[in-house]
C-alpha cells in the first residue's frame, strides 16, 4: 500500500468533517512492562489505517477550513543518539511518502499547533479516536488531550471518530483482502506443519514452535495473536494461551492460530488427533461441526443474511445434530456444548472493528466458526474458516487448509 491508498481513506473520512472541525489521531506508545523494560510497540490500528505510519508516538492533525483540508503528520525528529539505542526513525520525506501527507513536522510542535488553532478560532470542534477499550485509561493520548482541551476551551465541541473509522474498516479494499489472503496462505503452511509434526509425548509449546518456524521462514516475525494450541482437556479453555501441556495418545489437538502479513491477519481453527487417527466418537462430533460450517457458508450472499442469522442457524443445527446423535437431550439447551458465537470481522485486528453485520456486504471479511465442547467425552474443538464477501457470493479464503477427516489423516500419515 502506498501514500495514495491512505490519502483516499482520509478523504472518505473528511466527508464527515464540517468547516472549523479537526481530526486528531495518535499512534500510541509502547506500554511499560517492568522496571525499565517495555512491551513491544504496536501502532494504533486506526492511526495506521488512515496514515500508513507505524512509528511510536506519532500524531496526526487534519483541519477543515473554508472547505479545504490542511494535514500535518507529527513524528519524532531524527536523532542519531536516540536511534543508536532504540532504532531507526523515519525521515520527514519517508514519512510523507508512506502516508501521502505533504506536511511532516517535529512532534515537539504538536501541542503548540493545537493551542494556536484553538486560540485563533480556526478550530471550534475536535474529533478524537475514542476507542471503547481505552475509555477508562486516563493516560491514553486521546483521553489526555481531550481532557486538556475541555479544561482550557470548554466551548469547543468534542466528537468521536471511532465509529466512523470502524465503518470504513469494515468494508475491505481489494488490496486489504489480498493481504489477508496472503496471511491465510502462510497460516495454512503452519497448520499443515503442525499436523505433520504432532505425536504423543510432545508438549503443546513444541507444536507452537513448529508454527512459529513456518511463519519466520515466510518473513513473519510473530503470530497475529497469542496462538491457542492445546490438547485433550486443555481444549475446554477457549482462550488458552499457556501451551505447556503434554500431548497424549487418543486426544484431540485444537489449534486456533493466524499469521499477520502486511499488518493484516488470518484467524483459523483446526482440530486433529494426536495419533493421526480419529476415534469413532471424535469422527461423529467433528463431522457435525464440519457439516454445519459448510451449511453456514452456503448461506453467504451479499444482502441476504446477517451475522445474527448465521449464528441462529449454527445454534439450531448443532443442537439438532447433537440430539440426533444422542449427545444432547431433547430438552437440553445447545449452550451446554455450544459455547461461543462463530462470526466476527477480521482485518487489521483479529477481532476486527465494526458491529455485527445486519446484512453482509461485498468487502466484508469474517470468520465462520463452529465449536463443540463435550467435556464428559473429552471432545472439544472448533472448525474456523475465513471468508470474503464479493458481488456474486463469497471467497473461501481458507479452503486450502485441510479439514476433511480423510484429508487430515492422510496429512498426518
The position carrying cell 448465521 is 310
CA distance 283 to 325: 12
Same domain for 151 and 207: no
Strand segments (E) across 208-257: 228-231, 252-257
CA distance 369 to 314: 9
Same domain for 175 and 128: no
* pLDDT of res. 1: 84
Residue 341: DSSP 8-state: -
Which helix (H) or strand (E) segment is 371 a member of? Answer: strand 365-374
Domain boundary among 138, 169, 200: 169
CA distance 4 to 1: 8
Same domain for 251 and 163: no
Same domain for 126 and 266: no
CATH of residue 165's domain is: 3.40.350.10
CA distance 192 to 204: 15
Same domain for 389 and 330: yes
* pLDDT of res. 232: 98
Same domain for 408 and 339: yes
Q: Which residues contact 407 (CB under 8 A, 6 or more apart)?
A: none
CA distance 147 to 126: 12
Phi, psi of 274 (to 5 degrees): -55, -45
CA distance 219 to 194: 18
The position carrying cell 464440519 is 290
CATH of residue 363's domain is: 3.90.230.10
Please check whether residue 207 is in contact with residue 88, taking contact to mean a CB–CB distance below 8 angstroms. Answer: no
Same domain for 222 and 323: yes
Same domain for 189 and 95: no
* pLDDT of res. 139: 82
Same domain for 33 and 10: yes
Residue 110: DSSP 8-state: H
Domain boundary among 136, 154, 169: 169
* pLDDT of res. 354: 87
Same domain for 187 and 152: no
Q: What is the 3-state secondary structure (H, E, C) of 32-66?
A: EEECCEECCCCCCHHHHHHHCCCCCCCEEEEEEEC
pLDDT beneath 50: ranges in the chain: none
Q: Considering the entire predicted model, what is its pTM? A: 0.96
Angle between helices 174-197 and 405-412 (to 10 degrees): 60
Residue 399: DSSP 8-state: T
Tell me the chain's radius of gyration from C-alpha atoms.
24
Please check whether residue 355 is in contact with residue 343, taking contact to mean a CB–CB distance below 8 angstroms. Answer: no
Q: Quick one: CA torsion of 375, 376, 379, 382, rounded to 10 degrees?
A: -30
Residue ranges making up the domain that contains 121: 3-169
Same domain for 175 and 137: no
Same domain for 233 and 139: no
Report the number of distinct structural domains present in the chain: 2
What are the residue ranges of helices labelled H in 80-203?
Answer: 80-86, 92-99, 110-119, 141-152, 162-170, 174-197
Please check whether residue 386 is in contact with residue 176, taking contact to mean a CB–CB distance below 8 angstroms. Answer: no
Residue 244: DSSP 8-state: -
Domain boundary among 169, 193, 223: 169
Amino acid at each position: 500500500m502506498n501514500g495514495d491508498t491512505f490519502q483516499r481513506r482520509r478523504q472518505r473520512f473528511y466527508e464527515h468533517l464540517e468547516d472549523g472541525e479537526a481530526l486528531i489521531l495518535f499512534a500510541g506508545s509502547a506500554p511499560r512492562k517492568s522496571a525499565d523494560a517495555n512491551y513491544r510497540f504496536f501502532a494504533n490500528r486506526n492511526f495506521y489505517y488512515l496514515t500508513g505510519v507505524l512509528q511510536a508516538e506519532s500524531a496526526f492533525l487534519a483541519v477543515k477550513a473554508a472547505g479545504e483540508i490542511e494535514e500535518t503528520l507529527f513524528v519524532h525528529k531524527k536523532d542519531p543518539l536516540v536511534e543508536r539505542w532504540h532504532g531507526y526513525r523515519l525521515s520527514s520525506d519517508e514519512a510523507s511518502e508512506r502516508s501521502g501527507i505533504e506536511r511532516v513536522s517535529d512532534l515537539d510542535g504538536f501541542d503548540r499547533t493545537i493551542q494556536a488553532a484553538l486560540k485563533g478560532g480556526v478550530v471550534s470542534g475536535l474529533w478524537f479516536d475514542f476507542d471503547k477499550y481505552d475509555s477508562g485509561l486516563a493516560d491514553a493520548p486521546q483521553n489526555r488531550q481531550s481532557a486538556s482541551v475541555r479544561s482550557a476551551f470548554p466551548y469547543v465541541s468534542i466528537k468521536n471518530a471511532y465509529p466512523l473509522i470502524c465503518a470504513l474498516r469494515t468494508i475491505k479494499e481489494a488490496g486489504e483482502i489480498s493481504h489477508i489472503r496472503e496471511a491465510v496462505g502462510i497460516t495454512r503452511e503452519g497448520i499443515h506443519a503442525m499436523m505433520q509434526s504432532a505425536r504423543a509425548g510432545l508438549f503443546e509449546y513444541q507444536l507452537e514452535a513448529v508454527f512459529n518456524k513456518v511463519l519466520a521462514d515466510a518473513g513473519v516475525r510473530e503470530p497475529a495473536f497469542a496462538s491457542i494450541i492445546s490438547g485433550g482437556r486443555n481444549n475446554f479453555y477457549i482462550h488458552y494461551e499457556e501451551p505447556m501441556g503434554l500431548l497424549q495418545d487418543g486426544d484431540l489437538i485444537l489449534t486456533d492460530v493466524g499469521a499477520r502479513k502486511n499488518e493484516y491477519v488470518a484467524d483459523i481453527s483446526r482440530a486433529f488427533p494426536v495419533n493421526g487417527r480419529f476415534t469413532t466418537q471424535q469422527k461423529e462430533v467433528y463431522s457435525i461441526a464440519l457439516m454445519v460450517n459448510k451449511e453456514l457458508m452456503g448461506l453467504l450472499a451479499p444482502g441476504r443474511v446477517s451475522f445474527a442469522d448465521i449464528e441462529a442457524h449454527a445454534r439450531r443445527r448443532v443442537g439438532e445434530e447433537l440430539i440426533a446423535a444422542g449427545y444432547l437431550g431433547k430438552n437440553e439447551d445447545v449452550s451446554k456444548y455450544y459455547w461461543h458465537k462463530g462470526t466476527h470481522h477480521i482485518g487489521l485486528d483479529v477481532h476486527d472493528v465494526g458491529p455485527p453485520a445486519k446484512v453482509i456486504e461485498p468487502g466484508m471479511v469474517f470468520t465462520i466458526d463452529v465449536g463443540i465442547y463435550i467435556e464428559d467425552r473429552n471432545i472439544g474443538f472448533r472448525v474456523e474458516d475465513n471468508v470474503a464477501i464479493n458481488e456474486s457470493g463469497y471467497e473461501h479464503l481458507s479452503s486450502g487448509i485441510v479439514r476433511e477427516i480423510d484429508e487430515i489423516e492422510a496429512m498426518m500419515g
